[in-house]
């Protein structure tokens, strides 16, 4: 067994310490929020909460779960996230799959036009006027259709498809399989890593998104959870939180804000471990081989 040199061991320990430090920096804000959401108001007013709760109570969480507005917004956001992920993966597949065929006419021009959209955008006002002309304002479809395809994710999927041997496709073509049959029988089963990775990208993007709802939606029943958080954290009166009975004091209001942040963050954190084993493979293989 080869023994590592002292310099190598020092380097390994330094790398471990750096990873621990980075992990602590990432986790510290979440731990602080969790502690404040579980603490009594008098300690929050005095700013005495750091990483451990004081005066442990669940008043803020009880209020969140009892308020139908937040619960409805939560389940609406979950539904919206699932639908957006499915629609986005479908659109990404339909765009990426044809572009792997060299005999596709205009393939180079299509690739250029698609890539241009990564660097140039019409801007806020033209997008708003477009949504208005399409009658998508205050329509739940405005939260799905405009963001249903990411060019960056499409390039990752296309590159992953390139990594699948052409011999598999050619043998299926010889057997008389259609393009759709080739996709469902060969490419789809072999592309689980990239699909899991892009599903995570799309789901996190939709779950954390609120700017499109802020610009295009005024009906509260279509508010995603992140927009409620945005309104609360910026003290916008359209979301009546701090004026509710029992939550008019600064400490309780702060505790409620932290509880809502945790309420909206934990679900997406719980999903990641299930997709982690696919994440690295999908992100690296799809991004390297072209």
- Is domain 58-288 classified as CATH 3.40.50.300? no
Inform me whether the pLDDT recorded for 9 exceeds 60.
yes
pLDDT at 108: 84
pLDDT, one tens digit per residue, over 255-274 is: 777 777 777 777 777 777 76
Domain boundaries, the chain: 58-288
165 against 251, higher pLDDT: 165
For residue 105, what pLDDT band results from cuts at 50, 70 and 90?
confident
What is the rounded average pLDDT of the residues 161-189?
A: 85
pLDDT at 215: 87
Q: What token pair was written down for 190? A: 């072999």
- Asked whether 290 and 159 are in contact (CB, 8 A), the reply is yes
pLDDT at 92: 92
For residue 286, what pLDDT band results from cuts at 50, 70 and 90?
very low
pLDDT, one tens digit per residue, over 127-139 is: 888 888 888 888 8
d(CA 117, CA 180): 27
Q: Where are the alpha helices (DSSP H) in 209-249?
A: 211-216, 225-233
Q: What token pair was written down for 152? A: 């960056």
What is the rounded average pLDDT of the residues 88-112?
A: 88
Q: Which residues lie below 8 Å from residue 51, measured CB to CB, with a gap of 6+?
A: 28, 31, 32, 35
pLDDT at 182: 87
pLDDT, one tens digit per residue, over 35-46 is: 887 777 777 777
Angle, CA of 238, 241 and 242, to the nearest 5°: 115
Longest C-alpha distance within the chain, in Å? Answer: 75
pLDDT at 269: 75
Task: Pick the closest to residue 35 from 25, 48, 47, 50 (CA basis).
Answer: 50
Inform me whether the pLDDT recorded for 69 exceeds 60.
yes
| Summary mean pLDDT of the chain | 78
Q: Which residues lie below 8 Å from residue 257, measured CB to CB, with a gap of 6+?
A: 232, 233, 241
228 against 81, higher pLDDT: 81
For residue 91, what pLDDT band results from cuts at 50, 70 and 90?
very high
Q: Which burial class, exposed, middle or buried, applies to 125 when counting CB atoms under 10 A from its CB (0-12, 13-18, 19+)?
A: exposed
pLDDT at 245: 41
Q: What token pair was written down for 128? A: 């708003």
Segment among 83-87, 119-123, 157-161 with least mean pLDDT? 119-123
d(CA 99, CA 183): 13
Task: Pick the closest to residue 222 from 141, 137, 131, 140 (CA basis).
Answer: 140
pLDDT at 37: 77
Inform me whether the pLDDT recorded for 284 exceeds 90.
no
pLDDT at 1: 52
Inform me whether the pLDDT recorded for 87 exceeds 80.
yes
- Asked whether 97 and 187 are in contact (CB, 8 A), the reply is yes
Inform me whether the pLDDT recorded for 10 exceeds 50.
yes
pLDDT at 18: 92
Cα of 168 vs its chain's centroid, Å: 33
Neighbours of 136 (CB within 10 A): 18
């Amino acid at each position: 067994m080869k023994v590592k040199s002292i310099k190598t061991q020092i380097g390994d320990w330094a790398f471990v310490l750096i990873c621990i430090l980075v992990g602590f920096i990432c986790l510290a804000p979440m731990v602080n929020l969790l502690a404040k959401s579980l603490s009594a108001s008098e300690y929050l007013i005095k700013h005495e909460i750091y990483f451990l709760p004081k005066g442990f109570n669940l008043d803020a969480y009880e209020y969140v779960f009892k308020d139908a507005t937040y619960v409805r917004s939560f389940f609406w956001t979950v539904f919206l996230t699932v639908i957006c992920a499915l629609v986005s993966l479908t659109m990404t597949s339909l765009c990426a799959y044809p572009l792997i065929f060299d005999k596709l006419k205009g393939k180079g021009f299509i690739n250029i036009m698609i890539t241009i959209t990564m660097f140039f955008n019409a801007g806020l006002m033209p997008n708003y006027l477009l949504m208005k002309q399409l009658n998508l304002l205050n329509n739940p479809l405005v939260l799905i259709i405009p963001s249903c395809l990411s060019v960056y994710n499409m390039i990752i999927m296309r590159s992953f498809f390139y990594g699948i041997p052409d011999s598999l496709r050619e043998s299926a073509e010889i057997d008389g399989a259609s393009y759709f049959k080739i996709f469902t029988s060969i490419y789809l089963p072999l592309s689980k890593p990239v699909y899991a990775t892009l599903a995570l990208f799309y789901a996190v993007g939709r779950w954390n998104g609120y700017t499109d709802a802020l610009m295009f939606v005024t009906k509260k029943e279509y508010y995603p959870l992140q927009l409620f958080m945005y309104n609360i954290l910026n003290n916008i009166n359209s979301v009546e939180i701090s004026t509710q009975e029992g939550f008019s004091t600064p400490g309780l209001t702060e505790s409620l804000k932290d509880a809502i942040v945790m309420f909206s963050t934990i679900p997406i954190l719980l999903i990641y471990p299930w997709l982690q084993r696919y994440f690295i493979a999908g992100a690296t293989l799809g991004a390297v081989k072209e």
